[in-house]
Amino acid sequence: ARFFAIREYPRGVPPRELFELHEEELPQLAEGEVRIRNSWLSVDPYMRGRMSGVRTYIAPFELNAPLEGGAIGEVIESRHARFKPGDKVRHMAGWRDVAQLKGEVLEPLPDMEVPEQAYLGVLGMPGMTAWTGLNRIANLREGDNVLVSAAGGAVGSLAVQLAKARGGTVVGIAGARDKLTWLEQHDIRPVSYKDKEARQLSEELKTACPDGFDVYYENVGGACLEAALDNLKVGARIAICGLISRYNQEEPQHGPGNLANLLIKRARMQGFIIFDHWTDYPHFLEEVGPLVAKGEIDYEETIEAGLERMPDAFIKLFEGANRGKMLVRL
Ligand code: NDP
């Protein structure tokens, strides 16, 4: 089996050479274990946090050991009563071609009319994050005006569509041109953040939605957050989902200078980590699964081919080179 590992924790944007491909002979299956041939691997921004050597809400990656991440594969050998060869499963032993795990940590794939890799994206962790952030954290209501940053990515592209379905004005901040075009095609007002200070971004948000926002779904931080704070309606709710503009920065950054808007607008800002909400996953699937299966939700995927491309796919997240969910197909 082949897997990726890192030998040190990087500073700044992780360089390609950080990631080393190793080969190992897997031991025979022990009682209760299952061997899986992975077919799809996920790369996600949170993985950068696990490369910092510091425990956050989750332990850092171990050095020189297989990296971890969401994956989908097929059981090829089993000594667990619940699984047999041919079963499709989801698990966290990504960054490798073949995984060997205790049956207890495997999740059988739900049975819906969608391609299997959707369970790593629109119907997986990122989709669940978009739905939870809007509904459980920001308490999205009918007619709300909603602003989403990193709006053309895996989380953001579902967030804008779920928000749009509630009837208010939806504005999406993104960088890459193709994301801005995609947003426009879905009747989301696009705003580019590239090369803009908070003040200019703030003006453009005002033009895009003069009445201001009831909800801000935050994926980026920095100038995006500051510009959003200038454009809140009274009683606005901000869900802090991610702060990707900071993940590769080593030095602490100054916070927004206009936090007074939270006070003036009696607004609320709350962070969340999706793992705490996983018991809600069946509700999410029940609601969003059929919409995806019927084609009422449009989800995009950016696919790299081959295990060797994992580091490249991961680094591309920080370059904005993915539209929708970034995946690697084996
Ligand atoms: P995306 O698919 O959105 O990929 C990341 C995107 O972020 C890039 O395509 C890029 O798009 C944008 N980006 C990258 N660097 C910057 C930057 N410096 N400034 C502004 N935009 C940048 O990833 P996900 O959908 O998987 O994740 C989105 C956010 O949600 C992340 O912050 C992630 O950490 C967070 N998250 C949080 C979870 C939680 O439990 N709280 C769970 C899952 C995700 P562009 O072209 O627009 O620059």
| DSSP states along 94-106 | -SBSEEEEEGGG-
Please tell me whether residues 140 and 242 are part of one structural domain: yes
61 and 85 fall within a common domain: yes
227 lines ligand 1 (CB under 6 A): no
Task: Please check whether residue 163 lies inside any domain of the structure.
Answer: yes
Gyration radius of the chain's alpha carbons: 20
CA–centroid distance, residue 27 to ligand 1 (Å): 37
Question: Percent of the chain at pLDDT above 90?
Answer: 97
pLDDT in tens, 33-42: 999 999 999 9
Q: Are residues 107 and 131 in the same domain?
A: no
Q: What is the CATH number of the domain that holds 68?
A: 3.90.180.10
User: How does pLDDT run across 105-146, given as a tens digit for each residue?
Assistant: 999 999 999 999 999 999 999 999 999 999 999 999 999 999
Residue 160 Cβ inside 6 Å of ligand 1? The answer reads no
Q: Which tokens sit at 198? A: 């908070």
Note whether 323 and 196 are same-domain residues: no
Cβ neighbours for 67, distance < 8 A, ≥ 6 positions apart: 3, 4, 5, 6, 19, 47, 61, 94, 95
Total number of domains in the chain: 2
| 73, 137: one domain | no
191 and 63 in one domain? no
* Domain co-membership, 18 together with 106: yes
- CATH number of 180's domain: 3.40.50.720
Ligand 1 mutation pick, 42, 123, 184, 219, max ligand atoms within 8 A of CB: 219
Same domain, 105 and 182: no
The pLDDT of residue 99: 98
- The range of the structural domain enclosing residue 92 comes to 2-120+300-329
